[in-house]
Structure 1
Amino acid sequence: MKEINLLKEIVNRTNGFGCTTFALKDDNQIVFGRNFDFMIDYGHIVVNKRNVSKTALVPPSEKQLKWTSKVGSITFNQAGREFPYGGINESGLVIEQLWFDCTQYPKSDSRYGISVLQWIQYQLDVSENINDVIKSDLTVRIIDDSGAALHFFLTDKNGDSACIEFIESEMKVTKGKTLNVSVLTNNAYSKSIEHLDNPKKEESNQNIFTGSSLQRFEQAAKLVNQYSQANSLDIIEYSFKILDKVKQPNFTQWSIVYDISNLEIHFKTKSNSKVLKIQMKSLDFSSATPCMILDLATSKNSVNFEKYSIDKNFDLINQVFDSLDMLKDIPKEMRAYSANYPNTTTFNDEKEKSR
């Protein structure tokens, strides 16, 4: 069956979306901040379970990757369950994607192929740290026709951060001593660092979401470097200060701070400025219980997870597409294809009776 990639349709018709990410740490905590810049803030926060067997949704020409989730995760999704924009797993690994025009994914080869958003879920399912993600490049590659030109910023429980980009069809990793500052926006990391030393104007051909990329990188880098434990704000409050400083009026939809050390997620949305908190330790990631979701459109004052269903998944996808004039004409059959994908996954716990 022909693969249907909803993100590809979103990107082709909206010309991408921008973001800002950074990592910050002190003697007690490691945190990761992220602004998601787009036109709508609808979405689901999904509790992804351990011990679930999955098969990559790829064209018939690709070798189908099969895996079983080793750890649970929390993800932020607009294109439906199993196709997240980013998240954190129980091991304390955070992965977030950002638009990057210069992306060139690998050409077809002997490795297993996987689409770009499912690659994020795969890494959160099986990886404990950044090195695990990097090693996976030996056997797994993002398929060339994923549609979305993205690069990635990662931080793990060890306090290590990395930028992963695909340039000239190969994975390029910037980490350790070569990661001068733990920030990433929508330009190549190397170009952003050059901008700090030699500030210049943004390129005129940037779209409305990514047009302030170098400016946001410079501002976030300055604030990250200025952080100290002597600051009157705690590290979570300071992280939201950074996100507020680099937000794009009318376009910043989600502001998220992952507290990696304590496995907590703090977040707010454009339509709900109240910061809410999720404590991962209070959630059940066992496959013996149903998958749970939190609807960002209805959870205004408290965190109320509800049981996942295909209907809720389909409703989210329809809500996203029907809210954007350039996406309204995408057929229901195309949307349903991705919405129904979670039904192909298998819970391995014998006590599990429902998804």
Structure 2
Amino acid sequence: MKYIQTSRTTLVKIICLSTMIFIISGCSVLSNAPTQTALKETHPPTSPSTSISPTVVEGTEGLSNDEIATLSSLEKADDYPLYTMHYYGTYGQSSAMRSPKWSLLEMTEPYPSPWACSLFAALGDAESMLYGRNFDWEYSPALLLFTNPPDGYASVSMVDIAYLGFGGTNAGTILELPLLERQALLYAPFLPFDGMNEHGLTIGMAAVAPGLMRPDPEKETIGSLMVIREMLDRAKTVAEAVDILKTYNIDMEGGPPLHYLIADRSGRSALVEFYQGEMVIITNDKPWHQATNFLRAASGESTEGVCWRYDLIIHQLENREGRLDMGQAMDLLHEVSQDGTQWSIVYGIITGEVNVVMGQRYEMILIYSLVASEE
């Protein structure tokens, strides 16, 4: 295992990443960012509780009370669309999350590339640490999912519901479906693309070139998205999240290789990569961290010129000494957005506030809150 400290220091739909041409093309042109003009504010309920006793609904045979409550909580927040849902009760982490295959994702057809993503942690303000993330892909309807498992931490995460079969023309009509036809949404906890838990631990991922991973026969295998769920449910700090990653072989089969940018309330962050058969942990030595779509471990001392988005993020964070407010963080995501940016999200690591923009409509910010733990 290799640790690197540096101040310079994100999924395809069921196709393997064979080249990085698309990543290079995703870092080629910087477009002008339009000005934010308006604000749409939405406040959903706080974290779910298992004490709910839903009314019996016709056509829900085979669904438990918790599942009925979960599927009934679905709301449409944005016509892109973005939905919100609160997951009630347990979702069987121990069996599903250790499945070595992305079997849930095989319900959808392969999609074309290219795409790319941008992530950063702005940690310079102890009262307003933020994590920003652009998900750049083709059309991706999304779900903002609130979970509070009985044996884990409450969290909020973003899920691309095209992975669950709700893509294309049916993405905007899920609320018209009976509950039984929404059942695929019960798998949403296992597919977090980014998220934050009640302790402020925040995680995002980005695609990178293959890093020649070597599975350890002594370790269990877990999917590359499911491990994000494991970290959100079990870890309070970057160190605890990294320990979870060390516990498993991370299965990238069926999707591209990934690296993970993780941050917490202490101001610590780590970019975790898999390179030349080792897990490489790149920690921050300044109050910010960032990642796009190249392996930092393979870049040597200089990253300048590798990706324009990476360079711009560094420039802005250096100039502000890692201090951004929610608006400035969203503006930075706007600056590094691309034609394929599906959502931009800013997580308030300290406050629990979550700001979401769908489809580059930066004039319409959706505001949510996860009740933060005081521990």
SS of the residue corresponding to residue 281 of structure 1 reads coil
Could you list the structure 1 runs, at least 4 aligned residues long, displaced by more than 6 angstroms after superposition: 8-12
The Cα offsets for residues 287-325 of structure 1, whole Å up to 9 and x where unpaired, read as xxxxxxxxxxxxxxxxxxxxxxxxxxxxxxxxxxxxxxx
Aligned: 1:170 with 2:269: no
CA contact (8 A) 1:106 1:142 kept: no
**Alignment equivalent of 2:116, drawn from 18, 24, 35:** 18
**Alignment equivalent of 1:182, drawn from 267, 289, 303:** 289
- Following superposition, the deviation at residue 159 of structure 1 comes to 1.4
For residues 221-300 of structure 1, what are the structure 2 equivalents within 5 Å?
A: 221-227=314-320, 235-248=325-338, 250-270=339-359, 272-273=361-362, 274-281=364-371
Question: Are residues 222 and 282 of structure 1, via their aligned partners in 2, closer, same or farther at CA, if it must alter by over 3 Å?
Answer: closer
Question: Are residues 46 and 181 of structure 1, via their aligned partners in 2, closer, same or farther at CA, if it must alter by over 3 Å?
Answer: closer
Amino acid paired to 1:217: Y
Amino acid paired to 1:167: Y
SS of the residue corresponding to residue 355 of structure 2 reads strand
The Cα offsets for residues 226-253 of structure 1, whole Å up to 9 and x where unpaired, read as 1159x9xx611111121111111x2111
- Following superposition, the deviation at residue 137 of structure 1 comes to 3.8
Question: Are residues 155 and 189 of structure 1, via their aligned partners in 2, closer, same or farther at CA, if it must alter by over 3 Å?
Answer: same
Give TM-score scaled by structure 1 length.
Answer: 0.63
CA contact (8 A) 1:106 1:143 kept: no
Partner of 1:206: none
Partner of 1:43: 142
For residues 150-165 of structure 1, what are the structure 2 equivalents within 5 Å?
A: 150-165=258-273
Could you list the runs of 5+ residues in structure 1 that have no partner in the other structure? 52-68, 203-213, 284-355
State which drifts further: 98-107 or 167-176: 98-107
Q: Distance in 2 between matches of 1:11 and 1:17?
A: 17
- Following superposition, the deviation at residue 102 of structure 1 comes to 2.8
The Cα offsets for residues 168-224 of structure 1, whole Å up to 9 and x where unpaired, read as 2321100043x795111001124286132xx4xx5xxxxxxxxxxx11000110001
CA contact (8 A) 2:100 2:222 kept: no
For residues 196-207 of structure 1, what are the structure 2 equivalents within 5 Å?
A: 196=304, 199=305
The Cα offsets for residues 80-127 of structure 1, whole Å up to 9 and x where unpaired, read as 402111100111101101010133444251111111111111111111
Question: Are residues 144 and 270 of structure 1, via their aligned partners in 2, closer, same or farther at CA, if it must alter by over 3 Å?
Answer: closer
Percent identity of equivalent pairs: 22
Q: Distance in 2 between matches of 1:8 and 1:23?
A: 32
**Alignment equivalent of 2:158, drawn from 76, 93, 96:** 76
Partner of 2:226: 118
SS of the residue corresponding to residue 74 of structure 1 reads strand
Q: Distance in 2 between matches of 1:235 and 1:30?
A: 8
Question: Are residues 278 and 238 of structure 1, via their aligned partners in 2, closer, same or farther at CA, if it must alter by over 3 Å?
Answer: same
Partner of 2:133: 34
Cα RMSD (Å) of the superposition?
A: 2.9
SS of the residue corresponding to residue 132 of structure 1 reads helix
For residues 296-335 of structure 1, what are the structure 2 equivalents within 5 Å?
A: none
CA contact (8 A) 1:8 1:147 kept: no
Question: Are residues 168 and 180 of structure 1, via their aligned partners in 2, closer, same or farther at CA, if it must alter by over 3 Å?
Answer: farther
Could you list the runs of 5+ residues in structure 2 that have no partner in the other structure? 1-98, 165-187
Partner of 1:220: 313
Question: Are residues 138 and 270 of structure 1, via their aligned partners in 2, closer, same or farther at CA, if it must alter by over 3 Å?
Answer: closer
CA contact (8 A) 1:108 1:143 kept: no
Question: Are residues 126 and 282 of structure 1, via their aligned partners in 2, closer, same or farther at CA, if it must alter by over 3 Å?
Answer: closer
Q: Distance in 2 between matches of 1:143 and 1:123?
A: 15
Aligned: 1:91 with 2:199: yes
Partner of 1:320: none
CA contact (8 A) 1:106 1:144 kept: no
For residues 124-143 of structure 1, what are the structure 2 equivalents within 5 Å?
A: 124-143=232-251
